[in-house]
Each structure stands twice: as structure tokens, then as C-alpha cells.
Chain A
């Protein structure tokens, strides 16, 4: 009856994906871009989008086969040990994500809003918000994303429009030489940035959708994020120029501080825009905590695992500061864990195809 069925809708999934991705990816922009020039990066994004699109089709195809639990499905297809190994990979991936989100939020809050407060304390506060998100039912997180979607999108749109006044067309002039190998490498980074979509498979049994809805919902969330990401990139390129863009740690935040609204009363709009973006980081931390809880439940079923939150907390505290986390995240999560996690659905889909061809169709447990 009503919406009290313990399931989340396709519409909520697209909101969840957008709110989860947008904050992280706006800040990760320099990391994804590397040293590519403006239009080369655009080419990398387009190429990366093709990978992402294929990946979403694979996930949508797999989601139709997963009925009760993704781990159960894995066990059935590849055996217990391989399923457990895959889950452990995902756990590490999520741990990396959580640490990165909490640390990056702590750093930007410390740098742009609260120089008086310790970065670590702020990171712990974000972790606490993540725990609060993961506690209770999954519908809570989905509803929060549904409500946050509009204010975040609106704030970003206003920020982009407000900063667009400072765009200089000359900044778009392309001066570099096209490096196909680098473009291909960076398209991989674009793909890696969206690879978190695989986590949807763990949620599939609790989503009200058909295969078509699944693809539609993921596509909607992805396209919204991509549009904002590209708009932010070109606005930053137009306003700040190529050289500044390569030097700045967080060009989007610099772009926010350059935004001014006509007739605006406030002096620092960046604080307001950043406040809206913080909601995205909090939900993102919550998403990592939620999946950590779910995957840990799959790996070690039937025990009270509240004490396990000590581990992520310890990792957050032990990473000391943002720089350490970013280095670890780039090295391990981005280069190692993400590709491995991304391979899982592709491998499973191939296996499904082979099974179908051999005529061994069957639903998972």
C-alpha cells in the first residue's frame, strides 16, 4: 500500500545516482582530466560516455537476472569463493570511496568555510552523517536523494549561469596537439568515475522496475551528471583559462567564487553554492556506508555488525589528511579496484550470454 513496500522506484534511482555522483565528480574533474587540453578532454568525455553507456546496458541486462540477492546470483554463477572474493573487492572499493568522500569534504570545508575547525573532525562529522543515512530502511536514502535532486541541480545551474558572464571566448581557443593515446586513457578515467553504477546490482531486488526502467533510470542519472560536468568544465575553461585550470586543485570551487548574481546581496556566493554541494557529499558518504553495510551483510550474514564501523572510522583517522587519501585513492581505488569492480558485471554478462546460448536459463536465488 502507498509507498510502504520497502522498495525504491526507478525515479528515485536516477535521483540517487545524480546526487551521489555530481559532488564527487565536480571535484574529481582535474583528476579525470589529467593534462588534456579543453577540446581533447571533450573528446575523451564523449569516448568515455560510450564506454559508460555500454556498461549501463550490461548492468541493466544483469539486473533483470538478479532476483533476490546479487551475492546469491554470483554464488550461483561463479561459486562461493569467487563470489566472496568479488564482495571483498567491492568492500575495499567502498571503503576507498567512503574515505575519499569524507576526507575531501573535510578538506574543502576546512579550506573554504571553516579554517578554525580541524579537517579530521569535519571528516568524522561527514562519516557520522553517512552512518545516519545508512541506518534504518533504504527508502529513507532514496527519498532524501529525490528531495535533494532539485535544489542541488538548481543551485548548480544558477552558479553556472552566474559565472557564465565571466566567460572569455578566447579561452576556448585550442592550442595543443591531439594526443590520441592520452584521450583514450582519459576516456577510461571518465568510465571509472561512473563505475559506481555497478552497486545498483546489490540494490536490484529492492527496486520497483523492469529491465527497460532500469536502463532509463540509470541513463537519466548519468546524463544529468554528464551535462552538469561538461557545463562546469567549459564554464571553468571559459572563465579561468587553460593554464589556471591545469594549476588549480578544485577549479569548480574557484568558479563558484567567481560567480556573482546581478543585484546579489551576498559577497561570497561560493559559500552558498558549496553548502548545496555539501548535501551531495553527505549523501555520497551515506551511499558508501549503505552499501558497506549491505555487502558486509552478504559476506558475513546473521551477525550484529555495528562494531564493524570502527574499521572505516579507523581508516578515516589513519589517513591523516586529504593528500594521503587522494594519493591512496588514485593509486588503489581509481587504478586497481575500480577496473576490477567494473570487470565483474561484464564478466557476468558474458557468462549469462554463454549460458543462454547453451540453453541453461534460470533465475538466481
Chain B
């Protein structure tokens, strides 16, 4: 079977391979990368009618057996007629049903899965599904890409900061824009405030409605572009982004600054490596727009605080979702070396929190000396 190239998780460096829709081929892609007798596979069949072949992969000496057993029992408990894709199993087995944030990490890359297994995580693969589900997951792991470990640490650290900034823009920028426009124009320099006011001359809607119109228009373009075949989808993007945006500004429906803010927000949401996480941020953005419109900056602080509380309460298989920023001391502060910024690979001697305590050391000083020789 031909191995496809990764489409949704592209990387500049490293393997281009992606999973196929055949379970056995996918498992082979992983076993080709990890030649370790400790790599174990637990097979299951899900769905009364579909009997979908499912496999849980893990390194038995590195991963916590209790975590693997937990995942297995959640899957075994499913009494449903069919499991058509990994997404269904993900929805049915997640801990916090109402949370918009992903509690598994879906990936199409075998090298990502291999890396995760070596960190002590588990992976669930489904037949007829080209994506594996990694567990446990933290918000920080959703900001990382596999080529983060193939490139220079300074470049990667910079890119990670950019991704966090992107997430911040995706969730807060329109809200802050509305808050500043409605309640705190005096925060900005006088000339900018004047030019903003001038740009809004003739726009019949309040800023809140204006931003909502543009955000919803953007969602429409995005959805239309996604459902259309490749070439037409691109055309829709160009027509929507350029022509409709320009026309809306010319017709005085929205101000140019609003278009800039919405475009920056969209860029921010595209820069978050994990699509599910980005979608959650997109959804919460609307809450922040309303809070910014009604309570200004205090509303944005309130929204951010509530979001922080929600994320602090979330867990994935017992791991705090905001680890390593929360529960920092659980792995002796070592996980912070591979978080917002990434230390040089030589200094990442420990596995993350997911791994068994006795297996936390993944690189030893003696080994490093040998490598240098």
C-alpha cells in the first residue's frame, strides 16, 4: 500500500510519511521506527456491527500501566453499534464532555506517534482511520510539532513563542479590539484613536456587531473553502478574503481596521499547530468579544480568568492539562525545559511527566560523551 504524505501536519524537516487507512500498515510504520521488544499492542474490536479493529500501542516499561488500562477500559465500555472513525471514539471516551478543548491529541504522523510512545504516552489506532489518538495530552503538547526536535533550539523556541502569541491573538484580539473601541480609546495614542474613529465614519453598526459580522463572514468563507474541491476551495478563499473584504470596506459596512483585526485573528488561529485546539480557541473568542463589548478590559480579564480556571480543572488521564506550567514540581521543574522555550537537546535528559518515574532519564551523561567522541 502506498504511504501518503502528511497533509494537515506538514513539517520543514523530518519524515513526510502519514498514516494510511489500514491499521496493520499503520502499526508497521510505527514498529519500523521503534525496534523495542517492550513496544506492546493491545487489540480491541469496537462497535457491535462494525467490529472496527482498534489497537492501543505503548512501551510497557515506560508508560504507566494504569493509564493504558484506563484507556482500554474506556474503549471496552463503549456499547455502540458502530465506530466509523477515531473522532467518534475520542468524543465518547473523553473525560470532560462539555469542554471544547481536545483531550486526546489526534495526529496523522507516525514519527509523532513514535516520539509520544517514547515519552511514555499511549496511542490508539483504528482501522479505516488515518489518524492516531495520543494520550495523555497537555495544552503545551498541542503547541509542539515534531520538527521542533529536528531544528536548532533557538529557532524552535522563537517559533513556540510565536505559536503562543498566535493563540493569544486567536482568542483575545477581537475582544480587546472591541473593548478598546467601546470603553478605552484613551489607551491608544491620540493619532491612532483619531484615525480609528475616522476609519469608522459612515459605518452604521456598533463595533461589537461589526466584528461579529466580519468574524461570521470569515467562518463562512472558511467552511465554504473546506467543503469545495481543492482548486475551487482556494478560489473561494481569494474571492472571500480579498474581494468581499474590499467590497465590505468600500460599502462602509465595516472599517478597514476591523478587517485587519479579523485577518490577524484568523492567522493566529491557523498558526496553532493542533486543529482541534485552534477550533476551541475560535469558539471562545466569541465569548471574549461579548465580554469585551459589555465590560471592556475588565470583561476580557474575567473571560481569560474563567478560561484559565477551566483549563486548570481539565485533566487528561490524570495529567493536569496545563502541565508543565501548572504542577511544575511534579517532574522537578524539568518539563519547563521543553515548554514555552526549548532547551538544547543535550539538556533534555528527562522524559516528561507521562513516563514512569524510574524511566524518566532518557539520555545519560556517559552516552552523551560517547556521542561527542
Contacts and interface: CB of A to CB of B under 8 A. Distances in A.
Does B bind A? yes
Interface of A: 1-4, 9-12, 109, 113-114, 116-117, 122, 125, 129, 132-133, 136-137, 139-141, 143-144, 146-148, 265-268, 271-272, 274-275, 278-279, 282-283
25 contacts: A1-B67, A1-B318, A2-B319, A3-B319, A3-B330, A9-B330, A11-B329, A114-B296, A122-B295, A129-B302, A139-B320, A140-B309, A143-B326, A144-B305, A144-B312, A146-B326, A148-B308, A266-B188, A266-B189, A267-B186, A267-B190, A275-B298, A275-B300, A279-B304, A283-B305
A279 B301 CA distance: 7
B308 A144 contact: yes
Given A2-B353, A147-B325, A113 B296 contact: yes
Interface residues of B, number: 38
Contacts of A271: 184, 187, 297
Contact of B295 (A10, A117, A139, A144): A117
Interface string B103-142: 0000000000000000000000000000000001000000
B328 interface: yes
B186 A268 contact: yes
B309 A133 contact: yes
B309 A144 contact: yes
Contact of A266 (B187, B296, B300): B187
Contacts of B353: 2-3
Contact of A1 (B64, B297, B298, B302): B64
B79 interface: no
B186 A129 contact: no
Nearest first, the 5 closest Cβ-Cβ pairs linking A and B are A143-B326, A4-B318, A3-B327, A143-B312, A140-B313
Given A2-B319, A143-B312, 11 more contacts: A1-B66, A2-B320, A2-B330, A3-B318, A3-B326, A3-B330, A11-B329, A114-B298, A274-B297, A275-B298, A282-B305
A275 B318 contact: no
Interface in B286-342: 295-298, 300-302, 304-306, 308-309, 312-313, 315, 318-320, 322-323, 325-330
B315 A4 contact: yes
A3 B320 contact: yes
Q: In this complex, which of A132, A137, A271 has the most chain B Cβ atoms within 10 angstroms of its Cβ?
A: A271
A63 B183 CA distance: 47
B318 A129 contact: no
Contacts of B189: 265-267
Interface string B154-196: 0000000000000000000000000000011011111000000
B183 A132 contact: no
Contacts of B305: 129, 144, 279, 282-283
Contacts, number: 115
Contacts of B136: 2
Contacts of B187: 266-268, 271-272
A12 B143 CA distance: 24
B328 A132 contact: no
Contacts of A114: 183, 295-296, 298
Given A9-B329, A140-B309, A268-B186, A282 B302 contact: yes
Given A136-B313, A266-B188, A9 B327 contact: yes
Interface in B237-281: none
A106 to B, nearest CB: 10
B66 A143 contact: no
Q: In this complex, which of B66, B318, B326, B330 has the most chain A Cβ atoms within 10 angstroms of its Cβ?
A: B326
A122 B301 CA distance: 12
Q: In this complex, which of A144, A265, A268, A283 has the most chain B Cβ atoms within 10 angstroms of its Cβ?
A: A144
Contacts of B188: 266-267
Q: In this complex, which of B136, B190, B309 has the most chain A Cβ atoms within 10 angstroms of its Cβ?
A: B309
A139 B329 CA distance: 14
A268 B305 CA distance: 22
A256 to B, nearest CB: 13
Contacts of A2: 136, 318-320, 323, 327, 330, 353
Contacts of A266: 187-189
Nearest to A133: B309
Nearest to B183: A114
B183 A113 contact: yes
A150 B313 CA distance: 19
B355 to A, nearest CB: 11
A266 B319 CA distance: 39
B294 to A, nearest CB: 8
Contacts of B308: 144, 147-148
Contacts of A116: 183
B327 A282 contact: no
Contacts of A117: 295-296, 298
Contacts of B306: 129, 132
A144 B314 CA distance: 12
Interface string B185-212: 0111110000000000000000000000
B325 A278 contact: no
